[in-house]
């Protein structure tokens, strides 16, 4: 039996050394933040949700998985394995000094990969809970998401009570997007779910991560954090994300500053900085259309229309696109955004805004330039620069926001894992008969310093 952990570690150290070196240099150069608040993450163990807290002296490295599919994809498992390799290798070389790795180093790093995280650098998953539940047209619950009227809901609002496996979907995509064993796992978790779609998805994925940890010979059960909706729901009006939404809608100039961060023109004012949810439950950013209306410099109202909208295609049949079904039209008085209260006006802010609330010192993206948009990274860097100038939130330290732009790493597009036969990155990991086929594709992580600069 081949040692997948050693195969991956050797390839990673060979092809990603510049990323390891950059992370070690940054982590050792930045003094620990001893005055910050604790960061609380969760993970599922035997379908039970557990919380764990880390103090702010740690250096946090962000990865991610999606709520738009209840099972793990090949792309997701590569991201989890990649962020874990980056975390453990950087911690090792922080401790023993930067030198080109030798055989003994490989063995010691593999030994650390088998154990839970240890060291100053801590990898975690930031899971965005505002996405549509079938965003990428590969959710095996597709038909019931539509029939229960939840296809345009944010994932955080989806309930599991009447969800069921779509037999037509399975008949078409078994072996390419989903496997029989994963269908059985999803059905078992659905039967015991507490109604929360987020808890259900995390239960499935963490159970898969436990099994894959054994297969890959490394602990892949990373800690996780949900944003933005779960964070907003737990906040008071004076906390960070509420403050960001209020500040960016304060007046025309504040909106223009936010548009500038995105590289957008203020002329049409149709880009919504936060998407108010319909009273019918809709919150899809894709299905929402809107316009900001001003009376001179004052935000007067926000007009919103939800309409049926195609989502994103899967890699197997780009014509078989899921629809976010939503028909509604309403107006939000500007005062509810200027003085924002999530309980009163639930909404989904844009990622570049709520990412300020993530504890990350570094982030790993997936295929920037091919499967991920470079513009988003640039927007995140630009708003950090604006915050350093005192825009949006005043003094960043008052809210625990890191002034320095997080480091940006990327699963190199040419090194993305794909299904060995069908060549799609969105195949479920259960569709791969032999995981050594993935390990032998290697692990290339590149450092993207240019995306730490503002527009």
Other beta carbons within 10 angstroms of residue 346's beta carbon come to 21
Asked if 293 and 270 count as a contact pair (C-beta separation under 8 A), the reply is no
| Segment (H or E) for 124 | strand 121-128
The model carries a pTM of 0.95
CA-to-CA dists, residue 191 to 43, 156, 159, 200, 231, angstroms? 20, 19, 13, 10, 27
DSSP for 333-367, written as a single string? ETHHHHTT-TTTS-EEE-HHHHGGGS--SEEEEES
**Pair of tokens at residue 451:** 């995306």
**Bridge partners for 331 per DSSP:** 303
Q: Is residue 434 packed enough to be buried (19+ CB in 10 Å), middle (13-18) or exposed (0-12)?
A: exposed
DSSP code at position 250: S
What is the full per-residue pLDDT of the chain (455 aa) written as tens digits?
Answer: 689 999 999 999 999 999 999 999 999 998 777 666 789 999 998 888 999 999 888 999 999 999 999 999 999 999 999 999 999 999 999 999 988 888 899 999 999 999 988 899 999 999 999 999 999 999 999 999 999 999 999 999 999 999 999 999 999 999 999 999 999 999 999 999 999 999 999 999 999 999 999 999 999 999 999 999 999 999 999 999 999 999 999 999 999 999 999 999 999 999 999 999 999 999 999 999 999 999 999 999 999 999 999 999 999 999 999 999 999 999 999 999 999 999 999 999 999 999 999 999 999 999 997 777 788 989 998 998 888 888 877 777 778 788 788 999 999 999 999 999 999 999 999 999 999 999 999 999 999 998 877 76
- Beta strand segments in 166-307, E: 223-227, 274-276, 288-295, 298-306
Rounded Cα–Cα distance for residues 92 and 177 (Å): 36
Terminal-residue alpha carbon distance, the chain: 50
**Pair of tokens at residue 358:** 């993530």
Handedness of CA 96, 99, 100, 102 (dihedral sign): negative
Q: Report the pLDDT value the prediction gives residue 35, as an integer from 0 to 100.
A: 64
Rounded Cα–Cα distance for residues 114 and 438 (Å): 19
Rounded Cα–Cα distance for residues 380 and 240 (Å): 16
Q: Report the pLDDT value the prediction gives residue 115, as an integer from 0 to 100.
A: 92
Look-up of token digits 């959710």: 139
Residue 235, CB-side half-sphere exposure with 13 Å CA sphere: 23
Asked if 53 and 39 count as a contact pair (C-beta separation under 8 A), the reply is yes
């Amino acid at each position: 039996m081949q040692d997948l952990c050693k195969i991956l570690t050797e390839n990673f150290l060979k092809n990603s050394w510049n990323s390891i070196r950059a992370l070690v240099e940054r982590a050792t150069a930045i003094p620990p933040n001893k005055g910050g608040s604790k960061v609380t993450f969760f993970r599922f163990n035997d379908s039970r949700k557990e919380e764990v807290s880390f103090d702010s002296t740690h250096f946090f490295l962000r990865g991610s998985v999606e709520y738009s599919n209840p099972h793990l994809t090949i792309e997701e498992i590569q991201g989890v394995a990649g962020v874990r390799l980056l975390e453990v290798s950087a911690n090792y070389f922080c401790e023993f000094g930067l030198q080109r790795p030798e055989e003994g180093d490989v063995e010691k790093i593999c030994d650390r990969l088998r154990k839970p995280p240890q060291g100053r650098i801590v990898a975690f998953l930031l899971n965005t809970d505002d996405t549509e539940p079938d965003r990428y047209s590969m959710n095996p619950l597709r038909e019931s998401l539509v029939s229960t009227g939840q296809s345009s809901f944010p994932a955080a609002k989806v309930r599991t009570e009447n969800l069921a496996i779509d037999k037509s979907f399975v008949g078409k995509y078994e072996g390419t997007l989903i496997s029989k064993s994963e269908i059985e796992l999803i059905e078992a978790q659905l039967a015991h779910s507490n109604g929360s779609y987020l808890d259900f998805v995390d239960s499935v994925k963490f159970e898969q991560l436990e099994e894959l940890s054994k297969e890959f010979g490394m602990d892949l059960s990373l800690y996780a954090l949900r944003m933005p909706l779960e964070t907003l729901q737990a906040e008071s009006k004076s906390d960070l994300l509420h403050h960001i939404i209020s500040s960016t809608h304060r007046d025309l100039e504040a909106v223009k500053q936010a548009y500038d961060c995105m590289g957008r023109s203020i002329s049409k004012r149709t880009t919504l900085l936060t998407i108010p949810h319909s009273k019918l439950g809709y919150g899809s950013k894709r299905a929402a259309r809107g316009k900001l209306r001003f009376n001179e410099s004052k935000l007067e109202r926000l007009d919103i229309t939800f309409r049926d909208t195609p989502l994103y295609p899967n890699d197997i049949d780009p014509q078989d696109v899921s629809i976010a079904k939503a028909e509604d039209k309403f107006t939000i008085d500007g005062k509810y955004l200027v003085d924002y209260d999530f309980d009163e006006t639930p909404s989904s802010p844009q990622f570049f805004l709520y990412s300020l609330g993530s504890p990350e010192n570094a982030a790993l993206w997936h295929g920037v330039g091919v499967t991920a948009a470079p513009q988003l990274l640039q927007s995140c860097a630009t708003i950090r620069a604006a915050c350093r100038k005192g825009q949006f939130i005043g003094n960043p330290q008052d809210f625990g926001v890191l002034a320095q732009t997080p480091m940006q790493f990327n699963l190199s597009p040419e090194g993305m894992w794909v299904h060995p036969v069908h060549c799609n990155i969105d195949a479920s990991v259960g569709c791969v008969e032999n995981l050594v086929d993935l390990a032998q594709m290697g692990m290339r992580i590149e450092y993207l310093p240019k995306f730490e600069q503002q527009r």
